[in-house]
A and B are shown apart, each in its own frame.
Chain A
Amino acid sequence: MTGVKGMLGAVVTAPLGWLARLLDAPLRLWQRVAGQGGMVAFFLLPNMAIFTIFVLLPLVINIAYSMTTGAALFLPDRTYVGMGQYERLLRCTDYTNLMTCQEDQFWIALRNTGTFVVLQVSLLIVAATITALILNRALRALSFWRAVFFFPVLLSPVVVGLIWRWILDRNGVLNAALVGVGMDPVNWLLERNYAFSAAIGVTIWAQLGFFALILLAGLQAIPRDLYEAAEMDGTKPARVFWRITLPLLMPNMLVVIVLALIRAVQVFDEAYVLTGGGPGTATLFLTQYIYEVGFASLLKNPGLAAAASILMGGVLIVLTLLQLALGKRNERKGKLK
């Protein structure tokens, strides 16, 4: 046995030994040149290289694209226009009327996304909170219900979109059911308000479990005897929620709100599969606008798409910084306890 083990050990360690000997000289040299602090940079190098190639470089190239025009894909072949693309995106003769904007589709997508973010996030938070509160009760088959609510989170967004299109389609399951009970069918995805509501509803359905789970974790961290103390004091349930549960849930709640905001700004897959941005431009969101301008339309304009994506990126960076700040604050509070 020991012979086999020893052999296996040698097989595993020998190449590592060679590698160590191979790296020995350059590592020593580097340490002599850069000092011990420099070793940190050495070990971070592989990760930084990947980050640079796949994140930083594309970002820089994207900024460069956003300052050029034309249909050519190869950057040196493109014409430099400075802030021209941004100007085109943002210029309107009358800002109270989106139709007077040079790039009215961008503004429509912006308005749609704004409306979507406000409605979807607030409804999602309320729904996730209620779900978490219900799941937090010691109800029967709790694990089952948790799984039920979390299951949609595991689905690919495209699958979510397809499932709901199958349900909400003119000849879909829902209309078949309506006709079955003697009601008129409804064009759920072909009527502006219904389609927009469907986009909101479906994304909420898809994300609810994830956010409810974060909130549930927060709820379960609230000590039970706080509720018993409130019970001894004869505190009404509503007051318990507003004065005890909600304040103690706030750290989780803030994280949930910011994460939900970020995801709502990025909305694309489910909505695109469900409505394709229609009817008309009723559910055209920013990401879809960028995709269509840059890749899908007949007159591709990569420069304009790049500029729009940089603007959207700005919004996301602000939200991400907010999330990081909140995370740090929670960490500090946690340390204080």
Chain B
Amino acid sequence: MSHRDQNRASGRSTLPSYLVSEPRRRPDPGTRELTRGLGWFSVGLGLTEVVCADALARWLGMPRVAPVIRAYGVRELVQGAGILGSHDPTPWVSARVAGDALDIATVLPGLDPQNSRKDNVLIALVALVGVTAVDVICARSLSEAPLAPSDKVRRDYRRRSGFPRRPEAMRGAARDFKPPPDIIGPEAMRPWTLTNA
């Protein structure tokens, strides 16, 4: 089912979407900057996790989680691309919050007293909690951004035609204009039916 069909099915609009625009969230510039920053952070972290998974696992004293870290790196790369490339990054940032929870759950067992590198695990956990906080703030700001245009704030441009009559009546009003041949292209390159009309 296409997006348009889904809209129709959900009853959000009875008109085709080329006649009606659904309101979209418009976050403030600060949130947009933060989102962009998180996107690039995701890409950077993802690359690091993919390339240095073994070294990271050893640093944490958890060598067996190296494949998991590498998979998380791929996840980070996908999320980063989604955040940077999509018109609405809200779901991608929310996915980061869920990913943070997974990261914390994966690292927590490293606090085992038998792990000689549990200090490193603690550092990683502090960093993860910090990043999670930023992700949560960003996700909330995005999901709470005002819907624009809403009926309340939207300016009405429905009468901004610039024409003295309705547009349909103005169709071809400038047909008296003779397009210069050098601008519309050489005669020999124009459609045969036009040059021979």
Partners in one complex: no
Q: Which positions in A face B, CB cutoff 8 Å?
A: none
